[in-house]
A and B are shown apart, each in its own frame.
Chain A
């Protein structure tokens, strides 16, 4: 088999580039715990109102027992509930989201808060919003004819101005 020497160098370089990219991503995943949302937790999407966590009254921002902030949300044609929310900047926030009907997705535009919401499963992710401001949360997966009307607002307020209970 004939292998040209420049070609051999290029092939080696190609392998090195692929390994370098994998290495960088692996280092970030391990050192900074940057992973895609993947909690593999099932739920009965037809009976969300019967659960303690996703019943209508308990949605929104809550303080968990360990003091961390948790947002519970329901995605339902054609909106996210609660519809308007305030969260503090520079604070880790865990989102827990369930669908009450079909497939949805939620993306807070301009941030890495982005997850699919699959009926039968709970989506969970933790992120921090560094920049205060008004953000749209778009449904980013086709869910029916009202898909492009499905969105809500997220207001990120500076950490020192945020008062839990009044703002949330």
Chain B
């Protein structure tokens, strides 16, 4: 690999982390504001500006740029062939996404798009916001195409050989993202942009919400799959062991791919415009998607056990102690699994057709997805950055110790933030409220948990700063004499041959298309068959 190969991934990942730092501080402002403990910083307009910006940055900008960067790096380091379309096409994708992000950010920061990252029509943002967000997605579509075509080029040059697992999973993620982003893209292109420009008078909010739900669940797996890639290919390597099962890792990824898109209507359980039967169908898939996560849990823990025993760990639990927890990747892997387990248990409640009504749109939900996304997923993004930085830059990491400390802070901060949020949700606190304006009797029981969440937010903001410091200072280190290599874990039983179904995606894309038509066909079509009444735009 040439010395230039790291530039495109680095540029993408730096955009991800710079915006992340900004959004982490917005998060700190938000918990402080909504706690009601600091009346001097209570500005409702600023609060919703911040909530919208925090959501868009964390959900769309951090993730998309990080995943694109990691994807380019995986493609170059596993396949060792040039990117399809060359680096130039990659830079085009980067610039389109960056331009879109800048336009959307300008609207968000000036308060012209305080409509949440979920858009929530009939609240109307400035059209530039919708167009900017679209460009970010369009830029990422170029990346999707590059991932798929580069993998295909490699397969053509290596007939019958298994595609390296990291690349196989990343390509699955590109396909997943393309399919799932079509929902929000249709909402924005056919509804929000023409409506915000005044080309059409009204839009059907029921249809808009249904289209958004198409994107809203699988997007979570788009964010999560890079963490799984690290679980399979980097955590076992860092622990000095091997991947327990290459085949089951592929099966998990394929199950995520098939089951994660056609189940988005569990976000609409209590929406009036979809019938109960369809919600039930989507619930079935929602529980099926738990299976690949359970399998992944097994694979990762089994791989760690192999490593622990290779290190001389004995007995039922002795291998856990024998692991090298001082390695950032191993440490983050452990934290991520813990948070995934707690968050997963909470998720079973929201995923339930009937139990969801007890927690829908309460702070419980915010607690749930912060544990799974900001906890499990983002902590693995940190570990991935620490792991690939030396190979990408040719310089050693500034400080392993600081990296460990930063990961500990993130883990503790996330628990201090999200566990009280679950309780606040059960106490009935709605999500996305500022300093509570309700009668004192309802608010009083919330106070101790609000104090905890402010502390959690502060710990997380400090952790975010330390991440940036560590990565930034690494660029100032002296170049290593020998360029550090990028290494991935091998499977315990090396995969020499694979069934075509586990080495490609053609068949699975057809399965998803059929499943999508079955689960979303009528729920979308019904809006064109019913006599519906659209909504005019409203300002916030």
Contact = CB atoms under 8 A, between A and B. Distances in A.
B116 A142 contact: yes
Contact of B535 (A15, A45, A141): A45
Given A116-B270, A140-B360, A44 B437 contact: no
Interface in B289-320: 290-291, 294-295, 298-299, 302
A11 B291 CA distance: 8
Interface string A96-127: 00000111010101111111111111111000
A140 B437 contact: no
Residue of A15, A17, A119 most packed against chain B (CB within 10 A): A119
Contacts of B45: 145
A113 B358 CA distance: 8
A41 B536 contact: no
A28 B354 contact: yes
A36 B273 contact: no
Interface residues of B, number: 79
A121 B206 contact: yes
B318 to A, nearest CB: 18
A64 interface: no
B533 A114 contact: no
Interface string A1-13: 1111011001100
Contact of A107 (B121, B275, B361, B439): B361
B244 A43 contact: no
A140 B362 contact: yes
B291 A15 contact: yes
A138 interface: yes
A58 B440 CA distance: 31
A144 B49 CA distance: 11
B291 A103 contact: no
Contact of A18 (B121, B270, B291): B291
A142 B245 contact: no
A142 B270 contact: no
B499 A109 contact: no
A145 B499 contact: no
Contact of B430 (A124, A139, A146): A139
Contact of A118 (B273, B280, B442): B273
A14 B120 contact: no
A118 B205 contact: yes
Contacts of B480: none
Interface of B: 44-45, 48, 51, 114, 116, 120-123, 204-206, 209, 244-245, 247-248, 268-276, 279-280, 283-284, 287-288, 290-291, 294-295, 298-299, 302, 348, 352-354, 356-358, 360-362, 427-439, 441-442, 493, 498-499, 526, 530-536, 538-540
**Nearest 3 A/B pairs, CB to CB:** A109-B428, A140-B361, A140-B430
Given A35-B353, A116-B272, 11 more contacts: A17-B290, A18-B288, A36-B276, A42-B530, A102-B535, A107-B360, A109-B442, A116-B361, A119-B205, A122-B272, A139-B430
19 contacts: A3-B248, A4-B244, A36-B357, A38-B276, A40-B274, A42-B533, A101-B538, A105-B360, A105-B361, A109-B442, A110-B427, A142-B432, A144-B123, A144-B540, A145-B48, A147-B433, A147-B434, A149-B437, A153-B439
